[in-house]
Amino acid sequence: MDISIIVPLLNEEESLPHLIEWIERVMNNHGYSYEVLLIDDGSKDNSWKVIEEISQKNRNIRGLKFRRNYGKSAALNVGFEHCQGDVVITMDADLQDSPDEIPGLFKMISEEGFDLVSGWKRKRYDSKFTKNLPSKFFNATTRMFSGINLHDFNCGLKAYRNEVVKSIEVYGEMHRYIPVIAKWAGFTNIGEKVVQHRKREFGTTKFGLDRFINGYLDLISIMFVSKFSKKPMHFFGLYGTIMFVLGFLSALILGVQKIIASVNEMPMRLVTNSPYFYISLVLMILGAMFFLTGFLAELIGRNSPTRNQYLIHKKANIQ
């Protein structure tokens, strides 16, 4: 199968018929073999009824419905588990992503050799102050931390090689950082394509300003887990040791000063009256806590069923 198209959706009964008709037209015009996976994220309207009607008319259309709303990341992850196409396309159901972009994305994966291609909505029709400006700041920060030169990490229109989606896990609200997750999984050939952004025709947006706060917390989580999931002591042990040593040296200096003052019968206030004593104490306590946290994390990691699971890219003469 050439293409799997994964469409997560929530309360999109009005846009679904138009989207599927558009996708079918593009697929038929280019002669692609395809499937469309419609992932209903607990819609409260008639979205699932529409999906059932569409899937009965076209066997290339398949649907999955969550019992309740789990979020876009969960919908994408389930879609990744069930897709079969050589190239996997993700897009939103609100008609703001154009299916006419699919052939170009497919070519970049199948012919140009990219692992992942992310859409870039250079010209947007969203509110400038509630979406555009915060989005630019968010993308700039993600570029700086991840080292991936993309302009629009959160664009729903993306293309992947099948191996990529089968090798990564998306959960929580990590869908914003799929390129980062893919990079840390070893898929570094990541490209970008300018795509059309269309005005929303039906319904309302499902995301608020809280996504930017959650987004930065998720970025920190991804960067930490990607680097230290198999070696947590390298993080906690390092910073714990540094804090403990700094605290110990500070306390030692205070003690030496007190001894010198006593030997020379010089007036000096009590060590406990110095703020540096309490700073030293806090540093040593935090350092010990960090070190113990790393030690416990190592013990947990050694009992993890995935501790020795690694992604194999190629094999030679190995059965």
What's the whole-number average pLDDT of the chain? 85
Cα 158 from Cα 101, distance rounded (Å): 10
pLDDT of residue 271: 72
Contact 75, 37 (CB under 8 A): no
Give the predicted TM-score (pTM) of the model: 0.74
Nearest to 2 by CA among 35, 29, 38, 39: 35
Pairing of strands 190-194, 116-120: parallel
- Digit-coded pLDDT (tens) for 170-208: 887 788 889 988 998 889 999 999 998 877 666 566 555
- Digit-coded pLDDT (tens) for 51-92: 999 999 999 999 999 999 998 999 999 999 999 999 999 999
Contact 11, 45 (CB under 8 A): yes
Helix (H, G, I), strand (E, B) or coil at 198: coil
Nearest to 89 by CA among 35, 142, 133, 127: 35
Angle made by CA atoms 267, 273, 276, in degrees to the nearest 5: 105
- The amino acid at residue 24 is E
Where do the domains of the chain lie? 3-228, 233-302
| pLDDT level of residue 165 (50, 70, 90 thresholds) | very high
| pLDDT level of residue 130 (50, 70, 90 thresholds) | low
Q: What percent of the chain has pLDDT over 70?
A: 82
CATH 1.20.120.10 fits 3-228, yes or no: no
How many residues are listed for the chain in this entry? 319
pLDDT of residue 199: 73
Q: Does the structure show a pLDDT above 60 at 147?
A: yes
Contact 230, 298 (CB under 8 A): no
Least trusted range by pLDDT, from 13-22, 40-49, 128-137, 146-155: 128-137
- Digit-coded pLDDT (tens) for 244-287: 999 999 888 888 888 887 777 777 777 778 888 889 999 999 99
